[in-house]
Structure 1
Amino acid sequence: MTYKIHPIAVGTKVFDKSMMTYQYNQGKEFVIPLYVWYLEGGDKTILVDTGEMHPIQSAEREKALGGKIHTFEEGLAKFGLKPEDVDVILHTHLHNDHCENDYKCVNAKIYVHEKELENIHDPHPLDYRYLADFVEDVEEAGQIVPLREDTEVLPGITMLHTPAHTEGGMSVLVDTPGGKALICGFCTIDENLNPPPAIRGMEMEVIPPGTHLNVKDAYDILLKARGLADKVLPLHEPRFAAMETID
């Protein structure tokens, strides 16, 4: 089974670029997209993450991003879909900007690492982006399928435990017509995986994400991720906002 990957920008954040690239790009304002990734193929409607509930849809943000910003419903409608059509949600992690629209997908099974469920109900004070309100409805409805390890959740789709950004972070390995693609389970852009010469000159092959559990572990996980697929898709890379399909 192979799938086409459709990145749908359903929100943005504006912050210092070093939040993405550890100890590099300090003082540079940067706009990142928040994506829903629609995996088209087979007889199920599959999403990776569900993004922001109330995105800022301004001309300024879209210009900075280089692509259209949609509401969750608008993004799905591009493909003739509605939230209730979603069969499967695969979560990279449960920070709020990745799960705010889960409750709208009333017919979906939601796959997520059990550590994310633990942390969203008992977050560390530094991890303010865990908000239990966004998962309580789907938990009560019995929609969540907790995972403990690397798992092939559907033919051609495997979730891999990659705890660089959060304890239960999972990357999604997808068979596509063009080979294997890995949707990173940690908050990265192209520059993390393909650093500029100034960084490579310091004998660093990747740049860890600015928000991480352990910087050395995050470095090693990113380095490993680069070799897992034919294409590695950083979770917040802006250039995908202008793309209809990554196949």
Structure 2
Amino acid sequence: MNKYTIHPIVVGTKVFDKGMMTYQYDYGTPYTIPIYSWYIAGGEKKILIDTGEMHPVISEDREKAIGGKIYTLEEGLARYGLKPEDIDVVIHTHLHTDHCENDYKCSNAVFYIHEKELETINNPHPLDYRYVEDFIYEIREAGQIRTVSTDQELFPGISVMHTPAHTPGGMTVFIDTERGKTAITGFCVIRENFEPPLQVKAMEMEVIPPGTSTDTYAAYDLMLKVRDMADYVIPLHEPEFAAIESI
């Protein structure tokens, strides 16, 4: 069975209120999140999970805030001797802009996207301004999209599960690594969402749902499901991975 290595590449950041990550907790606290593209090495195909921002803000203060270096997608992949056109597969956790702005650069890749996410980007609700259909225009016109409609194994040791905690078509990716079954969450959270502080646990909450979700109750339950299915959880925007070479 394949044992993959996950390489976090920081391809952007956002500075906003921490409550955007942690529902009903820590509102009013300025917070910087890294935006990742995850390079999955160890199999026959060169795989990315999400592609990140096209023009990331690269500044000393943002790199200090996340504890790691920020790259363009080209710079990040070059660390592994790759170019965007070398990528064979992109798996999308979801299609908010910060996760798909570089899709067009991966001109030879097949893109796996959940059907609900494709429906949503075609007709987003006015409350969710983070969908911009233009960013998947090239890959859709080129026939690069493979629509995912069921939970399934895409490749040996890599499977996806529909987890609409943050967006209607969010997918969590499970990857077999040396640490066991590792989940890259299909919803935007940090480590604190899965490991709440004592004052939150005292309210009998095991996890903190994403700050923005399609259904907060359902998001809470999905987080527990992902946590219990995985040996190791990678929250999609956790800063601790910004300084880590591999998982």
Alignment size in residue pairs: 246
Q: For the residues of structure 1 that align with 2:97 and 2:161, how far apart are their CA atoms? A: 21
Secondary structure, in 3 states, of the residue corresponding to 1:7? strand
What is aligned with 2:145? Answer: 144
Q: Deviations over 1:113-145 (max 9, x none)?
A: 011111111110011100000001100000000
- Counterparts of residues 2-21 of structure 1 (less than 5 Å): 2-21=3-22
Secondary structure, in 3 states, of the residue corresponding to 1:94? coil
Secondary structure, in 3 states, of the residue corresponding to 1:227? helix
Q: What fraction of aligned residue pairs are identical, expressed as a percent?
A: 63
Q: Deviations over 1:146-178 (max 9, x none)?
A: 011101111100011011001100000000122
Secondary structure, in 3 states, of the residue corresponding to 1:207? coil
Q: For the residues of structure 2 that align with 1:177 and 1:201, how far apart are their CA atoms? A: 34
Secondary structure, in 3 states, of the residue corresponding to 2:64? helix
What is aligned with 1:239? Answer: 240
Deviation at 1:245, TM superposition (A): 0.3
Q: For the residues of structure 2 that align with 1:152 and 1:180, how far apart are their CA atoms? A: 13
Tell me, which stretches of 5 or more residues in structure 2 are unaligned? none
Considering only aligned residues, what root-mean-square deviation do their CA atoms show, in Å?
0.5
Deviation at 1:103, TM superposition (A): 0.3
Q: For the residues of structure 2 that align with 1:196 and 1:149, how far apart are their CA atoms? A: 35
What is aligned with 2:101? Answer: 100
Question: TM-score, with normalisation over the residues of structure 2?
Answer: 0.99
Which amino acid letter does the alignment assign opposite residue 81 of structure 1? L
1:227 aligns with 2:206: no
Deviation at 1:191, TM superposition (A): 0.4
Q: For the residues of structure 2 that align with 1:102 and 1:27, how far apart are their CA atoms? A: 33
Q: For the residues of structure 1 that align with 2:111 and 2:204, how far apart are their CA atoms? A: 40
- Counterparts of residues 59-78 of structure 1 (less than 5 Å): 59-78=60-79
Q: For the residues of structure 2 that align with 1:45 and 1:120, how far apart are their CA atoms? A: 26
Question: After the TM superposition, which segments of 4 or more aligned residues of structure 1 sit over 4 Å from their partners?
Answer: none
Q: Deviations over 1:43-86 (max 9, x none)?
A: 21000000000000000100011000000100000100000100
Tell me, which stretches of 5 or more residues in structure 1 are unaligned? none
1:23 aligns with 2:24: yes
What is aligned with 2:136? Answer: 135
